[in-house]
Structures are given as C-alpha cells and as structure tokens.
Structure 1
Amino acid sequence: MSGPLDFEVEDLLLKSPPVATKRKKVTDLDDLLSDYYSKQREIDSIAHKKSRSSKRYSSDDEDDKNEKGNETKLSEIADECEKQMKQFFPENEIPLWGLKIFGQQKSLPSLGFIELENCKLLQPFRESQLDSDLLSDSGQGAGETFLEGLLMNGWLSQLALISGFVEASVASWTFYQVLYSSNEELQLSACDFWCNILSKNEAGQPSIVLAWIPSYRELNDALEVYGYLSDTSENAALNSISSSQVPGSEGPPVNISSWIKLLSACFQIRKFQSIFSVSEAEEVLIVIIRLFLSRQLQGLSFILTDCVQSILSFFTEDEWAVSCEKVAHDIAYSVPKDLNSLRIVECISGTSDRSKHFRGRMAIYMLGILFEKKVFDGMGILKSLGSVKLKDKDTDFFTLYIYLVLSENWILSYDLGDERSDILSMWTKFLRNCSGNISSTDWRLYASKVRSKASYLLQSTISEG
C-alpha cells in the first residue's frame, strides 16, 4: 500500500495552517481627501464653539455695561427725587423748640452753720442722757448731723409744728440744704419741711412763725450757681469756662426741682410776709417761663405750671394790669419767633382770667413783632393776616402756621371788647381762605398743617358763633 493511512491523513488536518502575511494597504487619493475633510470638520467645529463662547462673553459684558448704565440713571433719578422731596418736606431742617437755658455750674458757696450747735431746738435732746451722749460723741458738727437725721425722718417738721416757731439758724440751714445739698434725700426732705412751714392753717394764717425767711437775692444766687443763662446771647460764651465754674458739670442740678417748689411756696405768703417786690416777681415770672424752653426740664412741666399760677396770684389787680403788659412784652422780644414762641404761649395753660389774659397779650405782642410793623391791635393784626397770598409759590407756610396758632391763642384767650364781632368776622374769613385755597396736593412745608388747623378752627368758630 503506497497511499497514506487514515490516521496519517487526520494528523495532517490537525496541523496549524500557515500564517498569512499581511499585505501593505495601498493609500489612494480618495483616502487622503477623506482624512482631510474629516480633520477640517473637527477644526470648524472647535472654531464654531469658540465663536459662540466669545459671543456669549461679549453679550455678558454688554449686559454688565447696560446694567451699570441703568444703575447710574436710577441713582441720578433718586437724587433728583430726593432734592425735590426736600423742597416739599423740609420739616427735618426746622429746629425743634428748645433753648440752652443752663450752662456750666459754678462752685458752691462756702457755708458754715456754727449756730446749730447751740440752737434751742436741740436743747431738749441735750437734756436727755442718751441723746446727749450721741451729740457729744459725734464731735464737731454733731448738731448738724443730728438735725439731718431729724429732717430726713420727718421729726423736724413735727417739732416745728408743735413749737410753732423755727429759729433763724435752723431755718437758714434747712433752706440751704434745699438749694445746694448733693444728698437727694436730704434736699427733698428739706424742701418738704419748707413747704410745710410756709403752708397756711384752716384760718388762713401761717402755721409756723419764722425767725428767718429767704430773700430774692438768695434764690437768684442759687439759680446762677446752677448755671442759668439770663440771655440766649450768653450761649456763645459757654466755650470758655471761668475759674468759678465746675468743668464738666453742666446744669441744672437735681436741686432745680426743689428750687421751683420752694419758690412757688414763697409766693403764697405775701399777706403775712412778702419776700418779693413787684419788680422782683416780674423777673422771677420771666425766668420760670423761660425754663419751659429747656428740654432738660420737660419732666418738670407740672411743677413749673403750678409755680406760674402761684406767681400770677401774687399780684394785686392794679399791679397785674401793669405787670402783665411788661412781662408779656419782654418775653415776646426775648423768645425766637419759631416753634419756641408757640411752646411759650401754650405752656401758660391755666384757665383763670389772668392766665388767659396773659396768654393773649403774649400772643399779640409776638404777632406784632412777626409782621415787622409793630402792630399790636387786633384789627391791624387781622388785616396783616388777610394780606398773605396763599397761592403764591413763595408763600412761607411755616411762618403762616405760627401766625395761625398765635392768633388762635390771642382770639380765644383775650377779651376782644367792642371789636369782637368785626375781629371774629375777619378771623372767619381768613380761616376760610386757608382751608379752601390751599390744595390737598400742596406738598410744601406746613401747607397741610395750615389747612388742617384752619379747618378745625373754622368749625369751632362757627359752632361758637
């Protein structure tokens, strides 16, 4: 057998076929063009993306510029609106009422009360063994220390009422505690002591006989120590502190409250022992009224009002007829013609004939000064009011408001006499002009206040008529 056997044929089939040699690919022109266009598309795509990104950034920059431009325009518009609003609503530029009535306090006067050691009031206590030991053990000033305890405990007032007499040393010592003591409890107790001993009994007589009474000079000296400025022109001199002043201590001290109460009590004993002359009473009245202009003393308005009423009741009828004109005239010329003048007039709030007359006279003097014509009669004042041009763009409604309030206080508080009907007729006409000729859309300073005030007064005037 010359041919291969079967198993030999199978072995041949199991052998691996020969590895085919890789033929090198031939690159033709079509392949090159395809590669070129593919790469070009990639480049164009990248360039397009960059272009879109650049446009987006450019658009953002333009938006930023537009936004900044809008902000600038908005700011300019806001500034212009604010400028116009200030022209319409400049109330915040008008100062509030109030004057600087107190400057730097001065040094306290040196006071000595040696007589207290031998005063008769302490004699019963010296006879007591226990109290005698207390007085002797305390050394110098024992009498004053002992009296301070009696005063603050209320026993000194009881002893004075029982004996019906207060000797000079005790009276002067307690008086100066009211004015100058830095111990608030002590000065308040001393103030109560004096108010009690100056009060009257049921028969209208003084409860206690005083061997010593204060004078106008001593009360006025205390006010100067407190730093009181008798004239507003003295404000300019406050920057330089004299050697008699206490640096860093600007008045008034807490004693001012007791000073006012004591002053009020002193005006109530004229029938028995007058402390003030008529001219001194006039000066004190001017001082008390000026204290209403101190914003530091707003909490004392009640006792200031009581003090004014005490001073008004001090004058006799004949004295008041002259003093009222003098004091009203002096106050009108010394107070600035702004909200301070309204504050002064409205603080005279009493309902007595003297209070109303006084308030009316101050108001008419202030009106005459405001019109700069020195017109102090009713008809002249109302003619000047009627000459105000309400529709004029330069109308000063703030000043007109002051005219209105002062005129109200004058007309409602003062006896108009035979001219009453004519004055009320002119007054009603003026109020109608103010309430009807001032538009509700007039935003100028105080225009709405003048219109509202005039409308209110018109209704009350018509109802009274």
Structure 2
Amino acid sequence: MDVNDPLDFELEDEFLKPPPKVSNKRRKKVIGLDDLLTDHLREQEKLKEEQNEQEKPKTKKAKKDASSYDDDEDPREAYLTKLVEKCENQLKDFGEEEDIPLWGVKVFGDKKAFPPLEFPELGSCKLLQSFLNSELNSVVELAAEKVLYSSNEELRNSSSDFWCAVLSSRKEVDQLPVEIGWFPEYSDLRTALDTHGFLFEFSSSGEPKNLDSDTGEPPQNIRAWLKFVTACCLIRSKRPVFSVVEAEELIEIIICLFLDRQFQGLLVLLNDCVEAIVNYFTDQEWHSSCENIAKFIASRVSKDLNCIQSVECIPVASSRCKQLKSAMAYQNLLSCFDGFLCQAHNGEDILRLLRAINFKDKSCDFFKMYIHLVLTENWVLSNSLIEDNPVIYEMFCLFLRQCSSLISASDLRSYASKVRHRAAYLMHFSIYK
C-alpha cells in the first residue's frame, strides 16, 4: 500500500474524494468551409419541403363564409369580436355622445389706451404734500403734477396692504384712524377694469363679445384691486364708499371673474370680496338688491356648465350668501323654461315641468336635465324659507326619487348616470340625513 493512497474512510466520504482528472486531449478535427456550406444547403432543403407540405390543398374540407374564423383562430377571440360589434351597434342606437365643453369664459378682451392720470384732488392731499417736502423726495423726485406708480409687484402689494390696514383699523369706533384728503371712487375702480378690456356684456352663447383669441390677459394688479374693494366694503360704518347700485354691480363683476378659469388661483380673495360686498348692504337694501343681482346674472350667462358655475361659486359662509345662491339658481331655472309653451311662473310650475319629463324618451336631453337638477338643488337647499313651504319640499323629494329610480343603471346616454347618481346622493345624504 502506497503512503499517498487515500484511507478507507476517505474513499467512502463524497467530500473527500479527489476531483476526477480532466483529460487534456483536445479535438483535432477542423471544420472547413465545405462542411458549413453542405450543412446550410441541407437546412434550406428541409425548410422548402415543409413549406410545400403546408401549401398542399386540404381534401374533404367544407368551405366557410368570409365572416367565419379560420382553423387556427381561437373561438373565444371570434366570440369576443362579435360581442364588441354588438355593443357598438347598441351604442349607436342611443346616438353618439356630444362633446360638452367645460365651464369658463374670458372676461378680459382687448386692452385700451391708458388715460392720462389726472387727479387734481391730490394737490390738496396733506400726506402727499408732506412727502413732497421731505428729504426722501430727493431720491424719488416726485413732482406735484405726476402720480407715483410702480410696476414692481412687491411694491404694489405693500402699498395695497398699507391702505387696507389703514381702512380696516378698529382703534376708534366709526372713525378712520387718519384723515384721508382724497379717496378713489367707484368710477376709478371701474375705469381700471375697463382699461384692461373687461367685458361686462355676454353674448347668448356665453362667450364675451369682441374677444380675440390672442388677447384677454388679466391686469397685473387684480389682487390689489380685489383687496382694496374688500377693504372699502368693510368700512361702511366709518365711511360709505359705494352706492347701492354700485355695490350690486361689484358683486356682478366678481361673479364674472369666477367664470374665468384664469382666476382659479384667486378663489380665496374672490370669496372674501363677495362676502364683504354682500354684508355691505343694509337689511332693507339687501332684499331688492339680491333679486336684482340674480336677474342680471341669469340674463347674461349661458345655460350650460357656466350657468352652474355662476351659482356654485357663491360661498355659503353667511345666510345672505345662501340667499343669493338660492335666488340666482331660481332665476336661472325660470330662464331655462322661458321657451316652453307652458312657461314656469313660480317654483311649483318649475317642479311640475321637471317631474313631467319622460326619461325613457330617446329625445330626452340628460345634459339639460343635469343642469336643471343642480340648479333646483341650489334653489331648494340654500333657501331657508323652503322649509316653510311643504309643497315645494315634497315635490323636490319626488323629483329626486324619479331621477334615481326611473333612470336605468344601464342607460348609456350622455349625463344619464350623472343625473341618477346625484339624485341618489341628495336623497340619502342631504334630504333624509
């Protein structure tokens, strides 16, 4: 026995066995170009034979229609194709869905030439005179015949914040903390908007008149304008700034700004401004002014999604805002049914016409139905006096029940599901909660 030979137990252990010896012999056969060419020709011959076999006509096979599927086609795929075609034909029976535009109009058109800034009242302004005589004027070099104006946004905001702080100061009751020698009037605020092309008249289609697609940029100082109007409305007890008619027109202007999608980033300022103007009226003035504002907006806003936006943009922070929202929705509903043979003269007529609509009729316009539903919702639920009229309230509940139960869940017509779902939501979460 050789000393280097493994022991018996080492032979039994698989891990201790020595690795097999690898042969160092290599293949010495060299493949030549002739061999490669021969293999290639052989493969081409095989492919050709297989192709010929596939092209041979099949015997004893019935002919099929052009609409039927081939032998290698999956039957499930053919069934699915037929099912899709059937669904498409059913959709055509309801008519193609109309392209309904989103809400939004441009309220600023072509800019006008800036008028000469002439304010002779500033000559007697003590604050301005004191600044002209100070050493700081040597830096600004302000002359008495000119008005100081800056295009710098930071300076504009600072000046508007300064005036708002002065106007809203409550250190003394019913008295401003400083004596103001000159104060801008409503005509000055309106001129500022008109200069930037503000369009107060709307066409029947809801689009502003004389509007070029390349124009319509809002004024840069619109934030300062809104803040100043809000501050002026908050100081009526100290100094009435606007007349009743002017205050009504201010609310109408703010609602128009709500309809321009460019001002969606100013919703907080717009809400604060609406609340301040609404509270500017006395109780005696507000009753008639609320109806005047509602009639004005209803006569100028088109009866599409802009009609809904003009109502729902009003905040509900106070009872007066809710009253305005309800009045606007009611006037819009009267306007919607103005062309009917049986015109609506009151709330009961409106609900009677709504309940008479046949949802099964193919000519039923669910888009208009959706507008009527949202307007009715805002009219009824935002009006605290409706609770004292059980007839209106009961008719509204019956109308909601009709919309939620008579419109089928499988009705694929445009806006049918929106009407059904909104009515069902109002029934379960608003009316009976």
What TM-score comes out, normalization by structure 2 length?
0.73
Deviation at 1:82, TM superposition (A): 9.3
Matching residue within 211, 215, 221 for 1:238: 211
Q: Counterpart of 1:331?
A: 297
Deviation at 1:287, TM superposition (A): 0.9
Deviation at 1:297, TM superposition (A): 0.7
Deviation at 1:462, TM superposition (A): 4.7
Q: Counterpart of 2:324?
A: 358
Q: 1:126-154 deviations in whole A, cap 9, x for unaligned?
A: 3xxxx6xxx54x5xx5137xxxxxxxxxx
Q: 1:383-422 deviations in whole A, cap 9, x for unaligned?
A: 1111111222221111111111111111111133585211
| Aligned residues of 1:428 and 1:461 also touching (Cα < 8 A) | no
Q: Counterpart of 2:130?
A: 121
| Aligned residues of 2:297 and 2:328 also touching (Cα < 8 A) | yes
Runs of 4+, deviation exceeding 6 Å: 77-80
Q: Counterpart of 2:282?
A: 316
| Aligned residues of 1:99 and 1:293 also touching (Cα < 8 A) | yes
Compared CA separation, residues 442 and 122, structure 1 to 2 (3 A): same
Q: 1:218-244 deviations in whole A, cap 9, x for unaligned?
A: 11010011111111238452349xxxx
Matching residue within 189, 196, 199 for 2:168: 199
Q: Counterpart of 1:20?
A: none
Are 1:99 and 2:65 matched, yes or no? no
Q: 1:255-307 deviations in whole A, cap 9, x for unaligned?
A: 11211111111122222222211111111111111110001111111111111
User: 2:142 aligns to what SS in structure 1?
Assistant: helix
Q: Counterpart of 1:434?
A: 403
Matching residue within 324, 335, 350 for 1:381: 350
Compared CA separation, residues 120 and 182, structure 1 to 2 (3 A): closer
> Which amino acid letter does the alignment assign opposite residue 188 of structure 2?
E
Q: Counterpart of 1:223?
A: 193
- Equivalents in 2 of 1:117, 1:210: separation in Å? 8
> Which amino acid letter does the alignment assign opposite residue 206 of structure 1?
L
Matching residue within 389, 406, 418 for 1:449: 418
Are 1:110 and 2:124 matched, yes or no? no
> Which amino acid letter does the alignment assign opposite residue 402 of structure 2?
N
User: 2:111 aligns to what SS in structure 1?
Assistant: strand
Q: 1:65-116 deviations in whole A, cap 9, x for unaligned?
A: 999x99xxx8xx879939937957736x101000121112223333378969
Compared CA separation, residues 356 and 66, structure 1 to 2 (3 A): closer
Q: 1:175-194 deviations in whole A, cap 9, x for unaligned?
A: xx4xxx42211211121121
Compared CA separation, residues 123 and 220, structure 1 to 2 (3 A): closer
| Aligned residues of 1:293 and 1:340 also touching (Cα < 8 A) | yes
Q: 1:200-255 deviations in whole A, cap 9, x for unaligned?
A: 32443322221110011111010011111111238452349xxxxxxx66321221
| Aligned residues of 1:431 and 1:455 also touching (Cα < 8 A) | yes
Deviation at 1:350, TM superposition (A): 2.4
Compared CA separation, residues 284 and 79, structure 1 to 2 (3 A): farther
- Equivalents in 2 of 1:182, 1:82: separation in Å? 61
Q: Counterpart of 1:84?
A: 91
- Equivalents in 2 of 1:230, 1:191: separation in Å? 25
Pairs within 5 Å for 1:361-372? 361-372=327-338
> Which amino acid letter does the alignment assign opposite residue 405 of structure 1?
V
Compared CA separation, residues 117 and 58, structure 1 to 2 (3 A): farther
> Which amino acid letter does the alignment assign opposite residue 440 of structure 1?
A
Deviation at 1:376, TM superposition (A): 4.5
| Aligned residues of 1:191 and 1:258 also touching (Cα < 8 A) | yes
User: 2:164 aligns to what SS in structure 1?
Assistant: helix
CA RMSD, 1 decimal: 3.9
Structure with greater Cα Rg: 1
Compared CA separation, residues 319 and 437, structure 1 to 2 (3 A): same
> Which amino acid letter does the alignment assign opposite residue 238 of structure 1?
L
User: 1:368 aligns to what SS in structure 2?
Assistant: helix
- Equivalents in 2 of 1:269, 1:188: separation in Å? 20
Q: Counterpart of 1:279?
A: 245
| Aligned residues of 2:117 and 2:147 also touching (Cα < 8 A) | no
User: 1:379 aligns to what SS in structure 2?
Assistant: helix
Are 1:412 and 2:411 matched, yes or no? no
| Aligned residues of 1:105 and 1:226 also touching (Cα < 8 A) | yes
- Equivalents in 2 of 1:292, 1:334: separation in Å? 14
Q: Counterpart of 1:423?
A: 392
- Equivalents in 1 of 2:117, 2:194: separation in Å? 16
Give the number of equivalent residue pairs: 364
| Aligned residues of 1:309 and 1:350 also touching (Cα < 8 A) | no
| Aligned residues of 2:347 and 2:392 also touching (Cα < 8 A) | yes
| Aligned residues of 2:109 and 2:216 also touching (Cα < 8 A) | yes
| Aligned residues of 1:117 and 1:143 also touching (Cα < 8 A) | no
User: 1:401 aligns to what SS in structure 2?
Assistant: helix
Q: Counterpart of 1:142?
A: 141
- Equivalents in 1 of 2:177, 2:264: separation in Å? 33
Q: Counterpart of 2:223?
A: 257
> Which amino acid letter does the alignment assign opposite residue 109 of structure 2?
G
Give the stretch that moved more between structures: 80-89 or 382-391: 80-89
Q: Which runs of 5+ in 2 are unaligned?
A: 1-44, 59-65, 74-80
| Aligned residues of 1:367 and 1:376 also touching (Cα < 8 A) | no
